[in-house]
Amino acid sequence: MRCLLINPFYPLSENPSPPLGLAYLAAALEHAGVVVKILDYVIFPYTIEGFQRELDRFQPDIVGATAVTMTFDTAICLIQDAKRHCPNCLTVMGGPHVSFCAEDTLNAFPDLDMAVIGEGEETIVDISKELLHGKKKNWDTILGLAYRNAGIVVFTGKRPYADVNTLQPPARHLLALGRYRALGMPISMTTSRGCPYHCIFCVGRKMVGAKVRYRDPPSVVDEMESLSRFGFCQINVADDLFTANPRHCIAVCDEILRRNLTVRWTSFARVDTVSVEVLKRMKAAGCQAVSFGIESGNADILKIIRKGITRDQVIRAVEMCNEAELPPHGSFILGLPGETPDTLKETLAFGEHLKALGVSYGFHLLAPFPGARVREASDRLGITILSNNWADYHANRAIVETPSVTRDMLNDIVIRWEEDFNRYLGTIAERMASGDASDEEAWPLVNLERTVTMYDMMMATALENSGVWPLHMMGDTAGADTLLDDLTMRVTPFLSEKTDCRRLRSTLAYALEHNHLGYTIEGGAIRWCWTEQIHHA
């Protein structure tokens, strides 16, 4: 049995990290004896010809794609391309979007055979086992599944949530980790699943349950210790709420400290679930920052969205972070039910107040995702949904309005925010050009430029197309500097005409120094590649 899993494209601006959900699915399948391959079109370019070659080489029995709402259109196109080329393969989709739109999706897209509802590790294994049977498939015996029977969509029933301590460790050996590391992106892990809160804009509770299921702290830190050897800039603890249970949080931190493990990590928290003791322990164990969903500066909106926090609790949480010397980050959502021009001003003013207290913060615009109460009750909540084009659900441009707040009003705030950031980068560039910028001041712009350059190389397959040449062309004394000069010259034609060769050369040198790029010399030729290719050779 062979299963091909696909991560559909989404842009670099969304700060991608290695796909943790697919790695969990792959681990469950491998444990069941299934041969698995992961195609990651976030960091590899997609062409129909290349995809068809992958299908021909791998010959999958199952093709599965994951999707959030923003990536659904891309994911379903991949499913259609797979079905056209391999009509006998079983096509499956999972993730939060299809979990709440299964019937509409299966009715609209006949190339998709079935949808996995909710957590997928046990369901995808059961699918693979059932596929091994004869022509008669008893799909109705598999919980957590939606499929067509005689043209009618059938739901097989809710699958109980998995015991997180019995899940196989994520199969990260199937991921191109080196590419994400080269982009300067963090790597993610979880210590629990579940969210006990009722925020009306979120589907997390519906996806992973109201009861939080905690992993054993030694297992959590085993994974952290393993990830610490991969060379990533940091680990993101991606739990919906790492601090939901202070005893679990402290137990994980104490295990890190007991092992004298040096690891950089970040986490999400609620302002009403932290204490100075917890934050200090997190800081001592290597936590670099904690992120709070603040959502709004208006007390009435916080009640409408069932956030269950107050402005005073936000300020107290920030003060506790400052006491623990743990940097806080805040996130706001604009366009929530009850939003007015006055509440927008109130939120912006609250953000500036928090900034004065040492909080970095940012904005998203409300995206009424399928399955979220804010979508299901939009009329009653006074929300007008302006788009059902799923590609618009990236939360960076307005797709909702309230009775007194228009799309343009919301977009203007975010656009001004983006312009302020670009001016900040422009100031850094000017100071760098005049030689007045310190390395610390220059770092944000330098790091961003390196990330963009590396990403452009990946998506243009520049290294794959130009990174091999006969060594005799370099002469007998070719050292690393000469090799980098030549690589710069060979890569440049694959990139934008605006590419600065000196900046490209500096980026390549940095990548080589930090083991993001490497080269081998054999058979009279030099071969450059991303480091994961060397490690897997």
Mind listing the pLDDT tens digit for each residue in 214-255? 999 999 999 999 999 999 999 999 998 899 899 999 999 999
Q: Are 374 and 201 in contact (CB under 8 A)?
A: yes
Both tokens of residue 271?
């302002």
Same domain for 127 and 264, yes or no, is no
Quick check: is 399 in a domain? no
Helix (H, G, I), strand (E, B) or coil at 339: coil
Quick check: is 261 in a domain? yes
State which of 333, 366, 399 marks the end of a domain: 366
Same domain for 200 and 144, yes or no, is no
85-115 pLDDT, tens digit each: 999 999 999 999 999 999 999 999 999 999 9
Counting the structural domains of the chain, the total is 3
Same domain for 120 and 222, yes or no, is no
pLDDT for the residue 479: 78
Question: Would you say how long the chain is, in residues?
Answer: 537
Q: How confident is the model at residue 536 (pLDDT cuts 50, 70, 90)?
A: very low
Same domain for 190 and 147, yes or no, is no
pLDDT for the residue 477: 53
Quick check: is 89 in a domain? yes
Neighbours of 148 (CB within 10 A): 16
Q: What number of CA atoms fall less than 13 Å from residue 110's CA on the CB side?
A: 5
Largest Cα–Cα separation, the chain = 76
Quick check: is 426 in a domain? no
Looking at the whole model, is its pTM more than 0.85?
yes
Q: Which residues pair with 146 in a beta bridge?
A: 115, 155
Q: Is the pLDDT of residue 82 over 80?
A: yes
Please state, in angstroms and rounded to a whole number, the distance separating the CA atoms of residues 120 and 364: 28
Same domain for 147 and 22, yes or no, is yes
Quick check: is 83 in a domain? yes
Quick check: is 75 in a domain? yes
pLDDT for the residue 496: 83
Please state, in angstroms and rounded to a whole number, the distance separating the CA atoms of residues 329 and 358: 9
Same domain for 320 and 215, yes or no, is yes
Q: Is the pLDDT of residue 423 over 80?
A: yes
Residue range of the domain that includes 464: 439-536
Quick check: is 142 in a domain? yes
Same domain for 355 and 478, yes or no, is no
State which of 366, 386, 414 marks the end of a domain: 366
pLDDT, mean over the chain:
95
Q: How confident is the model at residue 473 (pLDDT cuts 50, 70, 90)?
A: low
CATH of the domain at 107: 3.40.50.280
CATH of the domain at 499: 1.10.10
CATH of the domain at 234: 3.20.20.70
State which of 323, 342, 366 marks the end of a domain: 366
Same domain for 210 and 97, yes or no, is no
Quick check: is 311 in a domain? yes
pLDDT for the residue 262: 96
Q: Is the pLDDT of residue 1 over 80?
A: yes
Q: Is the pLDDT of residue 390 over 80?
A: yes
Same domain for 27 and 147, yes or no, is yes
Q: Is the pLDDT of residue 537 over 60?
A: no
148-171 pLDDT, tens digit each: 999 999 999 999 999 999 999 999
498-526 pLDDT, tens digit each: 788 999 999 999 999 999 999 988 888 89
Q: Are 77 and 71 in contact (CB under 8 A)?
A: no
Same domain for 138 and 205, yes or no, is no
Q: Which residues contact 144 (CB under 8 A, 6 or more apart)?
A: 116, 117, 118, 119, 120, 122, 123, 156, 157, 158, 159
Return the minimum-mean-pLDDT range out of 124-133, 228-237, 308-317, 492-501: 492-501
Same domain for 448 and 320, yes or no, is no
For residue 473, give Cα distances in angstroms to 463, 476, 485, 488, 517: 18, 9, 13, 15, 21
Same domain for 210 and 294, yes or no, is yes
DSSP conformation letters of 242-309: TTSSHHHHHHHHHHHHHTT----EEEEE-TTS--HHHHHHHHHTTEEEEEEEEE-S-HHHHHHTT---
